[in-house]
């Protein structure tokens, strides 16, 4: 069964909401309550959970702990993820220093940069080793790393992606403001802040507010 | 006619592709060539442009300059956008310093932070004035600003959003890793990097790669 990107995003939204209900002392939750917290419908909630074969009970709804466990298994949150980051733009450096990903079980094993001066000057960044880009393939293959983050802002993103794919990386989060051609056997998820800003401007200017189906 | 978020994202992707074709010397483009560059279908391209009443000609296709102009008008790229940024996390500071948005005609008029020490210590950042959060409403109303960016990582995002909406801001790009309740009359577009990473991990682990319909 193939699922949509939106269904995956909703799953992680459900999980955050479930954690909040749990903090308030709830053990069970009805699909309608979860739907209300999501701004969605009970039918949508049940449909989402049925795709993932997550079971609910007629009278009491879903057990919150079981639901969180199922969602985490589906999103592979049970295992620690290790990624490399390439392209030491300011935002790349912030991402490492802020440890937003580390707090969610995603560790960055090393950072790579094409600017030899930058890579040479910083031998580590918040405990993460920094190396020149031409050491990437060796590092990735030695450590069997399958995930990467591109944070370059200097136009080198496609070259970095091709190198990552060559090294055996299977999934890339691309934060560079550039559309990239995905190599075979590598999934690329691009987040383009300029585009997200433009989208927001467009919908903010509509007389009836938000987008269709949002 | 209400349009989807995806249609708006595609429009800005089309524009980037059109700029590349133009650089290579093309003046006209067929919907099938645009579709090939997008990894989409000609029918989808024509459908997208028909929603926006963008005209094409049978034998020669679309004139690239006209198309770019139409897309920019629809995305309101003709006008300079002014926003404020609140929450001086490291990534908020990077966003200002990197001037990624400035390069696309989006200027940040001021930055606000709740940490009085931080706001007091930095009276400006790459030319952008930095002020304490309690000056925000006054600044926004005085300068009639309608757009905001939230870059807080400390749990203050909802409070910042409520303040922004109170000040008359109509559209917000939320970069805080938190789901926010949108106030009335304010569109919120949230970008959650942890969630985007998780989504990528999920699809990278599927035997057939990418998501349905991506």
Contact A204 B101 (CB under 8 A): no
pLDDT digits (tens, 9 = 90+) for B177-200: 888 988 988 999 999 998 899 999
Alpha helices per DSSP H over B143-178: 157-167
Phi, psi at residue A23, to the nearest 5°?
-60, -35
User: How would you list the strands of the sheet with A171-174, edge to edge?
Assistant: A124-125, A128-132, A106-113, A81-86, A147-150, A171-174, A187-190
User: How would you list the strands of the sheet with B187-190, edge to edge?
Assistant: B124-125, B128-132, B106-113, B81-86, B147-150, B171-174, B187-190
Minimal C-alpha gap between B200 and chain A (Å): 6
pLDDT digits (tens, 9 = 90+) for B1-18: 567 888 888 888 899 899
Residue A212, pLDDT > 50, answer: no
Read off the pTM: 0.81
Q: What is the pLDDT of residue A114?
A: 82
- Using pLDDT thresholds of 50, 70 and 90, give the confidence band for residue B213: very low
3-state secondary structure B131-142: EEHHHHHHHHHH
- Using pLDDT thresholds of 50, 70 and 90, give the confidence band for residue B39: confident
Which range among A121-130, A155-164, B142-151, B166-175 shows the weakest confidence by mean pLDDT? A121-130
pLDDT digits (tens, 9 = 90+) for A114-163: 876 665 666 888 899 999 999 999 999 999 999 999 999 878 999 999 99
Residue A189, pLDDT > 60, answer: yes
Containing A85, the helix (H) or strand (E) segment is strand A81-86
Note whether A148 and A86 are within 8 A (CB): yes
Note whether B86 and B152 are within 8 A (CB): yes
Report the alpha-carbon distance of residue B43 to residue B102 in Å, rounded. Answer: 35
Phi, psi at residue B136, to the nearest 5°?
-65, -50
Chain mean pLDDT for chain A: 87
On whether any CB of chain A is under 8 Å from the CB of B122, the answer is no
- CB contacts of A173 in chain B (<8 Å) are 193, 196-197, 200
Q: What is the pLDDT of residue A170?
A: 96
pLDDT digits (tens, 9 = 90+) for A27-41: 999 988 899 888 889
On whether any CB of chain B is under 8 Å from the CB of A207, the answer is no
């Amino acid at each position: 069964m193939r699922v949509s990107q939106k269904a995956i995003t909703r799953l992680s939204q459900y999980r955050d909401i479930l954690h909040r209900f749990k903090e308030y002392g709830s053990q069970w939750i009805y699909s309608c309550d979860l739907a209300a917290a999501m701004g969605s419908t009970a039918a949508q909630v049940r449909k989402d959970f049925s795709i993932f074969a997550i079971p609910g009970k007629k009278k009491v709804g879903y057990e919150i702990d079981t639901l969180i466990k199922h969602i985490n298994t589906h999103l592979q949150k049970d295992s620690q993820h290790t990624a490399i980051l390439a392209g030491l733009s300011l935002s790349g450096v912030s991402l490492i220093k802020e440890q937003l990903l580390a707090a969610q079980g995603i560790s960055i094993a090393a950072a790579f940069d094409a600017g030899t001066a930058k890579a040479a000057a910083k031998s580590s960044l918040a405990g993460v080793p920094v190396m020149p880009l031409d050491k990437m393939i060796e590092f990735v293959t030695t450590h069997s790393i399958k995930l990467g983050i591109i944070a370059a802002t200097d136009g080198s993103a496609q070259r970095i992606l091709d190198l990552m794919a060559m090294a055996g990386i299977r999934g890339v989060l691309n934060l560079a403001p550039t559309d990239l051609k995905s190599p075979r056997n590598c999934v690329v998820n691009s987040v383009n802040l300029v585009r997200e800003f433009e989208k927001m401007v467009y919908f903010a200017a509509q007389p009836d507010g938000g987008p269709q189906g949002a």
